[in-house]
Structure 1
């Protein structure tokens, strides 16, 4: 074989090996993209073949979109059938006073319905555990911090639960959420980092799915809520503004005021939606960092 032919053969061997190597790299890259797309810390979209861009993280999706509602239903965990697993099983009120106030407003009503946004671990400072365990209420527990959510599930609550956050916009979206035990919140801008620094909070962000409150209610086949507890560390007013109050009947709400625009702004907005503030009940005072309101024409 001539020297020229040997060089040609070597060239083809190198070319074939390079092609194989390049193909393997491409396949590895595709697999890596798939892995990243399902990572809890990587932004990804909830898919539906019926939406315009095959995604729900897009503001044209209406809150009552049937495919959105069905998707949320697949993410909601059912109530536990196991016995409660509480760290303080003999404690009666786990809240900071809100549970007993609600109980008095509803005159010890049995089998009511609640939704708690910012449910934490399902026990500590829970505004709904007393109502669920002692009054037979049920509802939806919404918790965005995945670490808290695992603890919540371990409590064996008798209500539905979902690992998600209440959207601050009237459509679903993926957001950066700070995994801070009892002060987790959506991070939207530099102001949130400044807030964390001022309050000496550590920052550990994770991509988290948010859904509008109304969409989650529709997924539960509910438009009437006896009690709504909202504690999302400063984004309360934004969440409230997404709610179509003409389509839902929320009778009583407790809303945290500590980190948001303040009591005055919240009270003004809620008054415009037909709610009055409850300041005192006989012998009790509403917790200082919550505003509790009742629908004026509550039946």
Structure 2
């Protein structure tokens, strides 16, 4: 359905012709529609029907999605637009920018946790996500530690100092603001927020510490139905895959998830 609308929009814009465009907005819109039409042709040639279906579905959520690469749409696609689910999202930035949980909370009535240690995000996060439980301690493998944190100028690249060189982006942190943060383990975070044992969605984006955090998660107590975890093509990617598959998770749609990996818990399947 989402792909079918492209033809109607494109045909309408073609009536204007290149000499009758009405300013920069029409030009940009025309380019966007034509690019989407080209993408549709490429997607139509995919042998995996799940890729075709998901990309079409993701396009239908463009107006409300806030994720960097449609992680939020992946969640609603798999869970068939479940209402009232529960998420745990870290790092959450300001709660809107590249947020994997904003759409879930604001359009599907989900509840959950937004964790973000970068101080410059905190005021905006509280303002933008008043319905979420906000955690400003740094999610780590253990609680109660005090570690050095690097808040980068491009704040989405902020990370613990020990992971500065893990992702090849250390040059982007040369002008980072450095300060100490207190840590909280994922187990303690979920327990103190009364998260359900089978929470629906766990989003992990910590610029290098993802594997360390997941290794300490009690999967007997907490089994997220969907996990999206950023790997940035680092060496920890294989370790995350080995860990999660040992607990019965299946990695899906790697062609689409790019620098993320997307996992489904045992018994959770892509729509057929």
Superposition TM-score, scaled by structure 2 size? 0.69
Structure 2 matches for 1:115-134, cutoff 5 A? 115-134=88-107
1:154 to partner: Cα distance:
2.1
Which of 120, 127, 133 in structure 2 is aligned with 1:160?
A: 133
- The equivalent of 2:145 in structure 1 is 173
Residue 233, structure 1, aligned to residue 233, structure 2: no
Task: Determine which structure has more spread, i.e. the larger CA radius of gyration.
Answer: 1
Contact residue 167 and residue 232 of structure 2 kept, 8 A: no
Distance 1:127 1:157 in 2: 16
Contact residue 115 and residue 227 of structure 1 kept, 8 A: yes
1:264 to partner: Cα distance:
2.5
Contact residue 196 and residue 203 of structure 1 kept, 8 A: no
| Counterparts in 2 of 1:232 and 1:193: CA distance versus 1, 3 Å | closer
Which segments of 5 or more consecutive residues in structure 2 lack a partner in the other structure? 1-61
1:98 to partner: Cα distance:
0.5
Which of 283, 286, 290 in structure 1 is aligned with 2:260?
A: 290
RMSD: 2.3
| Counterparts in 2 of 1:194 and 1:275: CA distance versus 1, 3 Å | closer
Higher relative contact order (CA 8 A, sep 6+): 1
| Counterparts in 2 of 1:135 and 1:194: CA distance versus 1, 3 Å | closer
Which of 86, 101, 110 in structure 2 is aligned with 1:113?
A: 86
| Counterparts in 2 of 1:298 and 1:194: CA distance versus 1, 3 Å | closer
Deviations 1:42-101 (A, max 9, x none): xxxxxxxxxxxxxxxxxxxxxxxxxxxxxxxxxxxxxxxxxxxxxxxx940001211111
1:250 to partner: Cα distance:
1.1
Distance 1:114 1:279 in 2: 21
Distance 1:244 1:139 in 2: 19
Superposition TM-score, scaled by structure 1 size? 0.63
Distance 1:199 1:255 in 2: 21
Length, aligned pairs only? 204
| Counterparts in 2 of 1:145 and 1:296: CA distance versus 1, 3 Å | same
Which segments of 5 or more consecutive residues in structure 1 lack a partner in the other structure? 1-89
1:247 to partner: Cα distance:
1.4
